[in-house]
Structure 1
Amino acid sequence: MGAGLRNVRGARGWSQERLVREIEQFARRHVIDVASTASLRVYVSEWENGRRAISDRYAAILRRLLGVTDAELRDSPSSPELTLADGYEELLSRIDSARTVSASMVKAFNDQTEVLRMMDRERGASGLVDQMTGHLARLEETLTFAVLPSARRPVALALVGASTLAAWQAIDAGAVDRAWRHYELAKRAARDAEAPMHLAHATAEQAYVLMEAGRAALGVELVREAQHSLGRSGSPRLQAWLHAAEAELCAHAEMPDDAQRALDAAASVVPSGPEERDADLSSIFLNGGHLARWRGHVLAMLGDGGAVSSLYDALEAMDPTFVRAQAGLRIDLAHAHLARGEYDDAQTQVRQARLLANRTGSVRQRRRLDRLSSKM
């Protein structure tokens, strides 16, 4: 008890005093009454040392501030649901409810995922953990009690999209165990829906968990397994995405030749034109401009200073509301400047990226920045 809060606060790089200030600022923004500063200092210390349980009221604040689930915050497994000895009536009620899932309800599920995706891009994932947890729970509940394939498939596909988004948000928050489990959920849902494209995408994205854990070479194998399982049946946009993901993993695994080959393969199949979203897989956003930015990232990871000009072009063209993506691009620029020995420019990009990462609460980008700063 208490280790959960201490660990997630440490991952964010916050002191106890910083956490107290954040709680107070949150309370002012949302017009919520909280204890005095002196009392909050005592609470935080006692929460982390296990001498005081985190109340539900403060847990709701801390989850949004730190981007964690309740179980991660309290360092405890989720409470199991009670099983009724004679629950047939309840079971049949749930089955009947799931049986009547309409196209409009599935659309509502997908629309909610889109809203969460947009909010994530603009403000980061830390404040969305409660909404995303509830969204996944509703989708899982519906799928669990949907009996016939005609009802299960559209719900399963909606669950794939929501689960992969939740997994990416968990990676950004530094919650790698949660991310891994969300990807496993996405893969099960994709198999249930008999959707090989969705399965390949979820499998390849899961490789990023391995990369963040320092096992990039194993991640390369997983991406290639996703490519092999899909064969030539995937859409060109997905094929290009898989090659680009392979290139990025290869760069982190210090396989420069493989990374270059994968980039060339991606460029050879990415569809032309401004359209960015895959018509068959709504989680994929990729066109020539996105691929150019991705190529710049890979080249920066490989220490190629020639990536600087293309990265600045990408930065100029980027939607300014995509705060987290802009932070990532500035980190890439810092890498590229460092490769050219331009230390002042690299430091400037690091400072700007850190400000943006702090705005979104991205633990992943903070880790990237810390690793980069250690080389400067």
Structure 2
Amino acid sequence: MSEGLRTARKARGWSQERLIREVERYARQHLTDVASTASLKVYVSEWENGKRPISERYAQILRALLGVTDAELRGGSTLLARATTDGYDDLLARIDSASTVSHSMVKTLNDQTELLRTMDRQMGAVGLVDQMTGHLSALEDALNFAVLPETRRPVALALAGASTLAAWQALDTGAVERAWRHYEMAKRAAQDADAPMYLAHAMAEQAYVLCEAGRPALGVALVRDARRTVGRRASPRLLAWLYAAEAELCAQAGMPDDSRRALESALTSIPDGPEDRDPDMLSIFLNGSHLTRWHGNVLALLGDDEAVGRLYDALEVVDVSFVRAQAGLRSDLAHAHLSRGEYDQANAHLRQARLLANRTGSARQRRRIDLLSTRL
């Protein structure tokens, strides 16, 4: 029970004192009573040393703060033992249950994914770990016991979309291994659903895990393989997204010419108009305005002087509900101003970025902000 909390705390770079402050801050924000600071010091020490079990009340707070599942927090197995008197009866019952999953039920599951996506966009991923874990478990269970293709395909498609979202959320909270496993699940589900667009999207997002792990060139290879995998079956919006991701990863990998070529391909592929969702690819938000911000991000990574203008254009039209996107945009502006030696402007944007990143609890964005801050 002790290792889970200690590991999660250290993964965020928090001391025990910092964890206690965060628990107290959470309690104030959510009007929840917690023990005194002195008592919390004892509790945290005893939790991590296995001398005191973590009560559900505190476990709920810790899961929200650290962005971990209950099993990860407590250091226990994620598998639950199933006691049954007759294995075949139990198996058939679950197969029968999966066979009755209707189109309306799949729609309900997809609607739940959309709700989690909206909550993530506005509030961040840290507080959604339990909900997303339960959602994925229900979808995976339905797929595991679905027998015939007409039942499996819609469930697999729903699982592919939900797993990709869960993976990005895990990456945002710093849980990189969980992110990788979710992407692998998303790819398997997309293959099961015969959905090459969802497969390519999962592969390209997984490339970001490689990039942030220090292997950007391998990430470039994976995103290019994703584009080859989907081929002509990609919608124009997905194709623009894949090229933009390739441009960003090439910039990170020190491949400026390749980055600019991919960026130009993204700009020529994006459909006209304000619509940002593709009916065949709901996992992606991308239109010309979003691509302007991405364009500025890539130019900032390349040290291009035009980045500032592009990013200010994007700032004027950014959706205020996209809190994490706003934090990223402010970080991009800080990066662009730093490249021009404009330290006061960079510092102002970094302060705004940090406030927004704190609202969403994004460990990924905080790490980037900290790195940029060292250049001031």
* TM score, norm. by length of structure 1: 0.95
Deviation at 1:233, TM superposition (A): 1.8
Percent pairwise identity? 71
- For residues 72-111 of structure 1, the aligned pairs below 5 Å read 72-82=72-82, 84=84, 86-111=86-111
Structure 1 residue 366 corresponds to structure 2 residue 354: no
Cα distance in 2 for residues equivalent to 1:54 and 1:305: 52
Letter in 1 for 2:361: G
SS at match of 1:228: helix
Cα distance in 1 for residues equivalent to 2:101 and 2:165: 23
Letter in 1 for 2:353: A
Counterpart in the other structure of 1:133 = 133
SS at match of 2:279: coil
SS at match of 2:232: coil
Letter in 1 for 2:21: R
CA contact (8 A) 1:244 1:294 kept: yes
SS at match of 2:249: helix
Counterpart in the other structure of 2:26 = 26
Counterpart in the other structure of 2:159 = 159
Letter in 2 for 1:230: V
CA contact (8 A) 1:6 1:48 kept: yes
Letter in 2 for 1:256: P
Deviation at 1:24, TM superposition (A): 3.2
Counterpart in the other structure of 1:304 = 304
Letter in 1 for 2:371: R
Provide the aligned length of Structure 1 versus Structure 2. Answer: 376
CA contact (8 A) 1:99 1:151 kept: yes
Counterpart in the other structure of 1:117 = 117
Which has the larger displacement, 54-63 or 90-99?
Answer: 54-63
CA contact (8 A) 1:11 1:363 kept: no
SS at match of 2:233: coil
Letter in 1 for 2:133: T
Deviation at 1:321, TM superposition (A): 2.2
SS at match of 1:121: helix
Deviation at 1:305, TM superposition (A): 2.8
- Residues 273 and 70 of structure 1, relative CA distance in 2, 3 Å threshold: same
- For residues 2-81 of structure 1, the aligned pairs below 5 Å read 2-30=2-30, 32-81=32-81
- For residues 219-234 of structure 1, the aligned pairs below 5 Å read 219-234=219-234
Letter in 1 for 2:87: G
Cα distance in 2 for residues equivalent to 1:138 and 1:280: 23
Structure 1 residue 196 corresponds to structure 2 residue 169: no
Letter in 2 for 1:206: Q
Superposed CA offset, 1:120-146 (max 9, x none): 000100011110000001111111111
CA contact (8 A) 1:12 1:361 kept: no
Counterpart in the other structure of 2:323 = 323
Cα distance in 1 for residues equivalent to 2:128 and 2:327: 19
SS at match of 1:159: helix
Deviation at 1:86, TM superposition (A): 2.6
Counterpart in the other structure of 2:266 = 266
CA contact (8 A) 1:143 1:155 kept: yes
Counterpart in the other structure of 1:294 = 294
- Residues 97 and 187 of structure 1, relative CA distance in 2, 3 Å threshold: same
Cα distance in 2 for residues equivalent to 1:249 and 1:301: 10
Which has the larger displacement, 11-20 or 155-164?
Answer: 11-20
Counterpart in the other structure of 1:170 = 170
- Residues 260 and 167 of structure 1, relative CA distance in 2, 3 Å threshold: same
Which has the larger displacement, 114-123 or 232-241?
Answer: 232-241
Which has the larger displacement, 187-196 or 300-309?
Answer: 300-309
CA contact (8 A) 2:126 2:360 kept: yes
Structure 1 residue 243 corresponds to structure 2 residue 237: no
Listed as ranges, the gaps of 5+ residues in structure 1 are none
Superposed CA offset, 1:81-116 (max 9, x none): 336473111111111111111111001000000000
* CA RMSD of superposed structures (Å): 1.7
Deviation at 1:150, TM superposition (A): 0.4
SS at match of 1:264: helix
Superposed CA offset, 1:339-365 (max 9, x none): 000011111111111111111110000
Listed as ranges, the gaps of 5+ residues in structure 2 are none
* TM score, norm. by length of structure 2: 0.95
Letter in 2 for 1:139: L
